Amino acid sequence: MNYANLKDSYLFYGIAQKTKAYQKANPDKHLYRMGIGDVSLPLAPTVIEALHRGVDDQANKATFNGYMPECGADFLREAIAGYYKKRGIDIAVDEAFVSSGASDELGDILDIFGHGKKVMIMEPAYPAYLDASIIAGNEIIHVESGKENGFLPLPEDAGAADVDLIYLCSPNNPTGAVFGKDKLKKWVDYANRQSAIILFDAAYEAFIEEEDVPHSIFEIEGARTCAIEICSLSKTAGFTGTRCGYTIIPKELERNGMNLNAMWVRNRTSKTNGVSYIIQRGAAAVFTEEGQKQIKENIQVYKQNGKNLMAALDRAGVWYTGGKNAPYIWMKCPKEMGSWEFFDLILNEIQVIGTPGEGFGKCGEGYFRFSTFGDPQDTLKAAEMLEKLIKEL
C-alpha cells in the first residue's frame, strides 16, 4: 500500500504536453530544448573500442564470459578504486560495487535498512529519493532550502533529530549548488553524532571545476563511518543509454552490530547476476588515461553551454545558482513570476524549453532549471534570446 502514498509526477508529462501542443500549432518553429537532463554527445572513442572488443570476447570460446560476479568484475572494481586513489582517497577494491546506474542504487540500497526509517531529504530534490523512500515505507523529513542559504541547507536548518538516513546530492540536481568541504563536514559530523547514514549522490562530480570543492564525501574526515557514495557514468561519460555506475560502501560502516558492506554483498548475491560483461569493459575504458581525456572533452562542450547561459543571465541581472560546477543552472524567475508562468512565456515568445522549479518540490516555486546538455548552437541562441526577453520585461 506504500504505492498509494506516491504522488503522480506531472512534471515531464506536463512539459511534453505543452511542448507538443505548441509545436502542433506552430509546425514551422524550431524549439530550443534545454529542459532534459540527458546527454547529447556520443560515447568517447576509447569506450566504443572497448565495447567492440567486449563483443568480440563474447564471440570466442576462449574469451567468452557467462554470468558476471554480482558485485562487479575485478577489472572494473580495480579501475574504480584506482580512480579514487589518483584523487588521494583510499578505497579498497571490495568497497567498490558495480551497478547499472545511480537511480537503481539510490532506491535499492534502502533494502539494507528495513522499513519505517526516518529519511531526510533536502528540497528541491531529484525525485527518486522521495519516491524510493515512500515505496520502502519510510517516514520523510523534508528539509527546505532557498536563496537565503544558496540552496545548501545545513544540519542546523534541518531542525530534526534521530534520523536514520540522509540523502545529499552535490553537485546538486536541480539547483547545481555544491557543498564545500566545511559544509559537508557539518553533515558528516551530524550523521556520526546520531548514527545516521548519508547516502551521497555524486552523479555530477566530474563537472566540478573549483579546486576546493569535494568530488567525494570520502574527502571529508569521518565519512567512512557514516556514508555511502553513489556514482554514475551517465553524465560523466555519456552512459545514460549504456547504463553503468558504482557505489562505495566502506568496510567500517556498521549499525546495530551489522556490517553494511557485507550486507550489500549478501543483497547483491541474492538480487542480481551482475552487470553485462560488455558494458563493464566499456566502463573500465572510462578510467584509462585516454578515456579520462576524452570524457573531459565532452564535458567541456557542456561547460561551454553553461558559460554562455551564465553570461547571458549575468548581463540580464538574473539571480542563479549552479552552472560552474554542475550541468544545471537554477535561476530565479524574473518579476516574481511563477515557474510555470515563466515556462509558458519563454515557450511562446522565444521557443525555449526549460524545467519549472516547482516540479522538484515546494521550494522550487518561482525558480527555473536549465540543463547545459543541449546542442551548443541552440544553447547559444537560446541564451541570447533569453537575455533580450528578460531585459525587456
Residues lying near ligand PLP in the complex (CB under 6 A):
37, 101-103, 126, 169, 173, 201, 203, 232, 234, 240, 245
Comparing CA positions, the residue from 174, 215, 223, 213 lying closest to residue 37 is: 174
Would you say 207 or 351 has its CB closer to ligand PLP?
207
Would you say 200 or 320 has its CB closer to ligand PLP?
200
Question: Minimum distance from CB of 245 to ligand PLP (Å)?
Answer: 5
Give 347's Cβ-side CA count (13 Å radius): 23
Residue with the three cell numbers 501542443: 21
Question: Minimum distance from CB of 243 to ligand PLP (Å)?
Answer: 7
The one-letter code for the residue type at 192 is N
Question: Minimum distance from CB of 309 to ligand PLP (Å)?
Answer: 18
Question: Minimum distance from CB of 21 to ligand PLP (Å)?
Answer: 26
Question: Minimum distance from CB of 112 to ligand PLP (Å)?
Answer: 19
What's the Cα-to-Cα distance from 34 to each of 56, 275, 352, 372, rounded to whole Å? Answer: 38, 31, 7, 7
Question: Minimum distance from CB of 174 to ligand PLP (Å)?
Answer: 8
Comparing CA positions, the residue from 188, 117, 115 lying closest to residue 155 is: 188
DSSP strand pairing (245-248 vs 96-99):
antiparallel
Would you say 339 or 371 has its CB closer to ligand PLP?
371
Alpha helix ranges (H) inside the chain: 11-25, 45-58, 74-86, 102-108, 127-135, 155-158, 181-193, 234-237, 260-271, 277-286, 289-315, 339-350, 376-392
Would you say 245 or 354 has its CB closer to ligand PLP?
245
Question: How far apart are the two ends of the chain, measured CA to CA in Å?
Answer: 48
Would you say 138 or 247 has its CB closer to ligand PLP?
247
Would you say 202 or 390 has its CB closer to ligand PLP?
202
